[in-house]
Every structure is written in structure tokens, then in C-alpha cells.
Structure 1
Amino acid sequence: MTSSTFQDTVSQFVLSKEQVQKIVDGLTAELVEGLSTTDPKNITQQPSFITRLPTGKETGLYLAIDMGGTNLRTAAVHLLGDGQVGVTMEKHEITQELKTGTGEAMFDWIAECTSSLLKTVALDMGNAELQMGVTFSFAIQQTAINRGKVLAMGKGFDLSGVMGKDLKDLLEGGFTRKNLPVSVSAIINDTVGTLVSHAYVSPSTKIGVILATGTNAAYIERASEVSKYNGPACDQMILNTEWDAMGKAEYLPQTKYDKEIDAVSLVPGFQEFEKMVSGLYMGELVRLALVDLIEQNAIFESLGGKVPESLKSRLAFKTLFMSTIESDNSIEHTAVDRVFKTSFGIEGLSADDRSRVFELVHTIGKRSAMMTAAACVALLHKANGASVNLDNADEITTIGIDGSVFEKYPHFSHSMMESMIEILGQDRASRIRLELARDGGCIGAALVAMVAHSGGAV
């Protein structure tokens, strides 16, 4: 009974070839739908107003900030040409108090962090206005290269006085209150930044992906396909897909644990794809499954079906713990003991317990990799014939991927590639490169700020 209950739970996270193909087809359909929809509730396929990738020859000094789900990074970026950059960067944790406070408090804090950076680099340009590129890892409705209205934020943010406001005005309001001569000349999404910055060093890059606390992607689309774009005429456009907000019940293989995560989230029914694959939620899926298994006495039988208080708190089981457990491939899985003793005060696990925890963690991690691969294939299909040519044996397409899950989670890139081979076939998949892209937010923002400020059409 115990074994079958455990296997029944784990099997919910195992995806068949048919389920993966449904994800590819479903996401492809939503990518197409997002190109034309003007429904304000549909935040997908946002035009970035960036119409070309960098050449690698750009030069100059620009400020940048990168606001993500966990940290704010401020940077002075020296573009040196030949794909080379020099970066002075500071990182600041965004506290829960800031995340759920007022917009004014948040943007005053960002201005203080920017002031700290300027002191660090001793940057004194007299009365000259400093140009800044901004990477904003949340949905905005872009109206120009340096303007955009803030849409639903997610990732634990619930700021008052921000929704529907222009991000340039919010940021420059903070800078003005702190007497900083900083002008926002470009606003990009973190995935757009990843795409632009990785293309600076690797010109075959056509897709940028973020896989960290949250997930998102950007790619290059024919402008003629983007019927909702109302800006100046252009041939192509980098789109911020906001694939985190995609995913419909008819094709997403949601378990009861996925549905529970969605139900108790700040915005139920929003970002359902992200809630199945990203770093904020993977550990919570493990915790919910463990709680269920303990209550059924199908794991940790020494607890007698009683769930420890330490495991009852939402988000108590971090995705970092999954990485630690998956890093230990020994038969004994001693890392399981360490995690549960140190973080949850649970000791005396049996060999079966350790093996089962490892299997559960591995299966949930692999599902995330497979679903991310399926989403990448959907983008490759949509871009094929435009910026991507899957049928040209001599053409390599690089996907630049930034984020802690891709960088640090054991075997993640390997699982993604295996899944892409399964979906695309060996020939086509062999033309795809998955590459780690670091610091795309700051460097990408600086690159776009430079071109925008110099008057060139980005």
C-alpha cells in the first residue's frame, strides 16, 4: 500500500510524449493569439520597441538597474566594443516590507541604491544628465523605448499606487526626490535584456530565457506578424512573450498540488505556466507532495502520519534544497538526511525514505526542465522562417538562458536538451545551443540605453 501510494503521487509529475507535445502546441497557439489581442487582461507578446540586436561594437558608459523578483541590481556598465564589457555592480535584497508597501517607498529605495552605486564608482559628470537603462522583470505595457505602464506584477509583489502608472515617471520621481540627475532612456524586460546582451557576445542568439524565481522569454518576430504594434514602421521586433502568464487547463498537465499552489497565490489563475516550472514554486510542489505522503503514511513512517510543524509553512521547502538533494547521486542519498535534519529537525530517516525523497525531487525537477524545453520549442516553431531557420543544417540557433534554476540546478540543461531532442528529432535539435547568459539585465539595459540615447533606431 505504502509503495503504490508513493508511486501514484510521483507518477503525477511524469510527462508522456503526448503531454509534452500538447504543451508545445498549446503554447504555440497562445504565442500566435498574443500577437493580435488587445485584451488588457492578456499581457502576452508585448512589443519591446527594440528592432535590432547589437553588433558587438557598441561603446560608452551607462547606468543600469535590474529589478527582479528577489534582488535589485544597480550597475555602471562600460561598453568596450568587440563584445567586451566592464561592469561595476551592487546587489540589494528586496525585502518583503518593500514588496508589499507603497510604490513611493519602493522607488525612493531604488533611488537610494542608485546613489550608493554612484558613490562607489565616484562618477562625477558635473551637471550632465546620466543616462540609465532599466530592466524590469515584470509585465509592462510598453508605449515607447523608455515608457511603459506597469501591469500585474506577481512574484510576491503587491505595491500600492503602481498599477497602470508609467515606469519612467515612477523611477524619475524617486530620482528627483533624491536629487539625482538620472534620466531613464530605455526600459526593457529581463528576458529582452538576456537576449540583447547574449547576442552582444554570441551573435547566433535568437531567444532569451529567464528561469529563476520566475520564468519568461523573448524572441525576434517579423513586425508584420505583430498586428497590435502601433509604433514606427520596422521589419522585425523583439517581443517579450510573458510566457509565464500562458498556460490553459486543457493542455497544462496540472496535478492537484499545482492547483493548490495556484489557489492560494496572490492572483489565482494568473501565471499558471510559471507556477509549474519556476524556482519560487518547485520546492513548494515537493513540500505539498511530502505533506500528503506523510499524512497517508507513505513516507517518513516513523512520524506516524503526523506532519511536523516545520513542514506546514508555505514555501518552507526551498528549491535550493532540491538542488542540494539532486547533487548527491550516492546510493545512500545522505544529502536528504542533512536537509531534513538541518532545516526541518527531522531525523532517523530510513534508506527507503531517502530514496523516495530523491525520486520525488528528481521527478519534479525533470518536469520543470521538460516543460521549459517544450516552451522553447514553441518559440522556435513560431520564429522558424523568420529569425530562426530550423531546416538549415548549417545554421546554429542559440538560446541564452539566465537564472539560478538553469545555472545551478543539477542536470537541468541536460534534461532540457534531452527533451528537445525528443520533440524536434536529433537533426533539428543538434542545431540548437543552450547557453548560460549572465547579468543580461544590466548589460542588456545599458546596450539599449546607449543606442536609444544616441538617436539610433534600436
Structure 2
Amino acid sequence: MATSVFQETVRQFVLSKEQVQKIIDGLTEELVEGLSTTDPKNITQQPSYITRLPTGKETGLYLAIDMGGTNLRTAAVHLLGDGQVGVTMEKHEITHELKTGTGEAMFDWIADCTASLLKNVALDMGNADLHMGVTFSFALHQTAINRGKVLAMGKGFDLSDVMGHDLKDLMEGGFRRKGVPVVVSAIINDTVGTLVSHAYVSPSTKIGVILATGTNAAYIERASDVSKYTGPACDQMILNTEWDAMGKASYLPQTKYDKEIDAVSLVPGFQEFEKMVSGLYMGELVRLTLVDLIERRGILEVLDGKVPESLKDRLVFKTLFMSTIESDSSADHSAIDRVFKTSFDIEGLTSEDRAHIFELIHTVGKRSAVMTAAACAALLQKASGASVNLDNANEITTIGIDGSVFEKYPHFAHKMMEAMTDILGKDRASRVRLELARDGGCIGAALVAMVAQSGGAV
């Protein structure tokens, strides 16, 4: 009985070809809709105002800032040509006091951090202004390559006098007050940074993806198809898809556990795709499933149907635990005993329990890989004819992927590639490369600053 309950439950996370195709079709429909919509509630398909990728030959020294939810990274990026870079980087924690203070205090602090970097690299340009690219991992209504109005920030930020203001003006205000000779030449999203920076290293890169706590993607689209773009005429445009905000229950294969995660989230019905694939939620999916299985006596019969207090709090089963367990290749999955004893004070697991827990974790992880592959396939399909041609046997298309889930989760890249082969067919999939991309925020920002400052097509 217990085994049948378990198998019936885990089977919900195994996707059929039909379900995968529905995801591709649904996301493609939302990608197309995002090209034209002017609804302020629809934040997808944001024009980056970047109209070309680097060639890998660019050289020069540019400053960069990567501002995320936890840390601020400042960097001096030396573009050396031939896809080579030298980076001097400093990392600074953004404290709760800064996050909830005034905008002026925040941007003065950013200027101080930049001054620290300049001192560290002994950079003195005399009276010449230094050009900086900024990666801003928050919602922004971009109006030019170096301008954008700050929208809702989230991630614990509650700054006064920032919302609705132009980020370039806010940044440069801090630099002026602190006497730091820096001009903001470019502002980009972290996913756009991933695409641009990896294209410098691998010129065949046409898509950038982030798969970490959250997920997002950027790609190259025909400018003529982006009807909501009102900037200078151009042939193509890098778009920040904000695919994290995509996903509708009508086509996503949600289990009751997915629906529960969505229901108790800050904004139910929003970011439903992200809630099924990203690092913040994978462990919680496993926890909810375990709790349900324990109550239905489908697993861990030693608990006699009673869920321990250690498993009752949201997000206590980390995706890191999944990674640790899938990393253990031993026949008896001994890592499961260690994780459950150390983190949840649960002992007495049988060999069947360990096999079942491993199967559950493997299946949830694989579903994330398959759904991410489906989303990439939707982008490849949308970009076909614009920047991608999978029917040309001599052309390779690279997808640069940054983030802890892709980099550190065991066999994730392999699972994605298997799914891409199932979706695209062996021949077309053989022309796609999935490559790890790193430091996209700083290197990408520096590259775009270079393109903007040199008068390139932006």
C-alpha cells in the first residue's frame, strides 16, 4: 500500500511529451504577447537598448557595479581582447539599515564603495571621467541604455526617494557628493549581463539564462517584432524576457504541492513558472511532498503518520539538501541518513525509505531541468530566423547559464541536454551548447559601458 501511495505521488512530477509541448507553446505565446503589450502590469520582454553583442575583440578598462539583494560588487574590468578579461573585484554586504534608509544614504555608500575600489587598483585618470556599467537586479523601466526609472525593488529594500527616479541620476548624485569622477554609461539587468559577458567569451552565445534562487533569461530578437520599443531605429534588440513572471496555470503541469507554494507566496498567481523550477522552491516542493507522504503513510513508517516539528516550517528543506543527496552515488544513499539526522533529527530510515527519498528528490530536480529546457526551446523557437538557425549544420548556438542550480546541482546540465534532445531532436539539439557563465553582472556591465561609450550601435 505504502509503495503504491509513493509511486502515485512521485509520478505527478514526471512530465509527458504532451505536457512539455504545452509549456513550450504557452511560454511562446507569452513571449509574443510581451513584445507588444503596454500594460504596466506585464513586465515581460523588456527592451535593453542594447542592439549588438561583443565580438570578443574589445579592449579597455571599465568600471562596473553589480547590485543585488544581498551584496554590492564593484569591479574594475580589463577587457584584453580574444575573449580574455582581468577583473579586480570588491564585495560589500548591503545591511538592513541601508536597505531601509534613505536613497541618498544608499547612493552615498555606493560611491564610497567605488572610491575604495579605485584606491585598491590605484586608478587615477586625472580630470577624466571613468565610465561605469551598472547591473541592477531589480525592476526598472528602461528608457535608454544608460537610463531607467526604478520600479518596486523588493528583496527587503524600502528606500525613500528612489521609486520612480532615474537610476543614472541617483547613482551620479552619490558620485558627485563624494567627489568620485564616474559617469554611468550603461544600465543592464543581470540576465542581459550574462548574455553579453558570455558572448565575449563564446561569440556563438545567443541566449543568457540565470538559474539560481530565481530564474530569468535574455535573448536577441528582431527589432521589427518589438512593437512596444520606441527608441532609435535598429535591426535587433536584446530583450530581458523576465520569464520568471511568465507561466499560467492553464498550461503549467502544477501538482497540488506547486499550488500550495503559490497560494502561500507573497503574490499568488505571479511567477508561477519560477515557483516550479528555481532554487528557492525546489526544496520546499520536496518538503511538502514528504509531509503529505508521511501523513498518508507512504514513506517513513517509523514516524507512524506523525509529521515531526522539524519538517513543519516553510523552506526548512533546502535545495542544498537535495544537491547533497543527489551527489551521493553510494548504493545505500547514506547521505540521506546524515541529512535527516543532522537537520531534522529523524532516524531509523529503512533502505526502502532511502530509495524512495532519493527517487523523489531526483524526480523533482529532473522536472526543473526539463521545464528549464522547455523554456530555452521556446526562446530558440522565437529567435529562429532572427539570431538562431538550428537547421544550419555549420552553426552552433550557445546558451550561457549562470546560477547555483545549473552550476552546483548534480547532473543538472546533463538532464537539461537530454530534455533538449527529446524536444528538438538529435540533429538540431547537437547544434546547441549549454555553457556555464560566471560573473555576468560585472563583466557584462563593463562590456555594455564600453559599447555605449565608444558610440557603438546602442
- Superposition TM-score tier, normalisation by shorter sequence: over 0.9
Question: Structure 1: which amino acid aligns with 2:14?
Answer: V
CA contact (8 A) 1:147 1:167 kept: yes
Return the offset for 1:357: 1.4
**Structure 1 segment 53-452 matched on structure 2, within 5 A:** 53-94=53-94, 103=103, 106-153=106-153, 156-161=155-160, 162-452=162-452
Return the offset for 1:238: 0.6
Question: Structure 1: which amino acid aligns with 2:247?
Answer: G
Aligned to 1:46: 46
Deviations, residues 258-303 of structure 1 (Å, cap 9, x unaligned): 1222222222222111111111111111122122222333222222
CA contact (8 A) 1:141 1:149 kept: yes
Q: Secondary structure at the match of 1:210?
A: strand
CA contact (8 A) 2:99 2:159 kept: no
CA contact (8 A) 1:139 1:242 kept: no
Q: Secondary structure at the match of 1:51?
A: coil
Change (3 A) 1:350 1:189: same
TM-score, normalising length from structure 2? 0.94
Q: Secondary structure at the match of 1:217?
A: strand
CA contact (8 A) 1:146 1:187 kept: yes
| Greater Cα offset, 107-116 or 320-329 | 107-116
| Greater Cα offset, 55-64 or 167-176 | 167-176
Question: Structure 1: which amino acid aligns with 2:260?
Answer: E
Q: Secondary structure at the match of 1:320?
A: helix
2: CA distance between counterparts of 1:13 and 1:98? 41
2: CA distance between counterparts of 1:266 and 1:183? 37
Change (3 A) 1:200 1:336: same
Question: Structure 1: which amino acid aligns with 2:305?
Answer: G
2: CA distance between counterparts of 1:452 and 1:192? 15
Return the offset for 1:88: 0.9
| Greater Cα offset, 364-373 or 298-307 | 298-307
Change (3 A) 1:310 1:176: farther
Q: Secondary structure at the match of 1:276?
A: helix
Change (3 A) 1:163 1:286: farther
Question: Structure 1: which amino acid aligns with 2:116?
Answer: S
| Greater Cα offset, 139-148 or 106-115 | 106-115
CA contact (8 A) 1:26 1:247 kept: yes
Question: Structure 1: which amino acid aligns with 2:340?
Answer: F
1: CA distance between counterparts of 2:170 and 2:255? 40
1: CA distance between counterparts of 2:305 and 2:107? 48
CA contact (8 A) 2:31 2:44 kept: yes
Q: Does 1:20 align with 2:20?
A: yes
1: CA distance between counterparts of 2:357 and 2:176? 52
2: CA distance between counterparts of 1:94 and 1:332? 43
Return the offset for 1:315: 1.6
Return the offset for 1:112: 4.2
1: CA distance between counterparts of 2:453 and 2:298? 61
2: CA distance between counterparts of 1:243 and 1:205? 19
Q: Secondary structure at the match of 2:314?
A: coil
Change (3 A) 1:290 1:179: farther
2: CA distance between counterparts of 1:94 and 1:22? 41
Question: Structure 1: which amino acid aligns with 2:145?
Answer: I
Q: Secondary structure at the match of 1:385?
A: coil
Change (3 A) 1:20 1:163: farther
Change (3 A) 1:7 1:428: same
Return the offset for 1:127: 4.1
Structure 1: unaligned runs, 5 residues or longer: none
1: CA distance between counterparts of 2:398 and 2:355? 36
Q: Secondary structure at the match of 1:413?
A: helix
CA contact (8 A) 1:103 1:159 kept: no
Deviations, residues 13-54 of structure 1 (Å, cap 9, x unaligned): 111110000000000111111100000000011100001111
Return the offset for 1:312: 2.2
RMSD: 2.0
1: CA distance between counterparts of 2:120 and 2:257? 46
Structure 2: unaligned runs, 5 residues or longer: none
Question: Structure 1: which amino acid aligns with 2:18?
Answer: E
Return the offset for 1:435: 0.9
| Greater Cα offset, 162-171 or 398-407 | 162-171
| Greater Cα offset, 328-337 or 221-230 | 328-337
2: CA distance between counterparts of 1:273 and 1:431? 26
Q: Secondary structure at the match of 1:24?
A: helix
Question: Structure 1: which amino acid aligns with 2:73?
Answer: R
Return the offset for 1:101: 6.2
CA contact (8 A) 1:28 1:378 kept: yes
2: CA distance between counterparts of 1:96 and 1:298? 43
The count of corresponding residues between Structure 1 and Structure 2 is 457
CA contact (8 A) 2:282 2:364 kept: yes
Change (3 A) 1:303 1:158: farther
The percentage of aligned residue pairs carrying the same residue is: 85
1: CA distance between counterparts of 2:310 and 2:119? 43
CA contact (8 A) 2:37 2:228 kept: yes
1: CA distance between counterparts of 2:103 and 2:298? 46
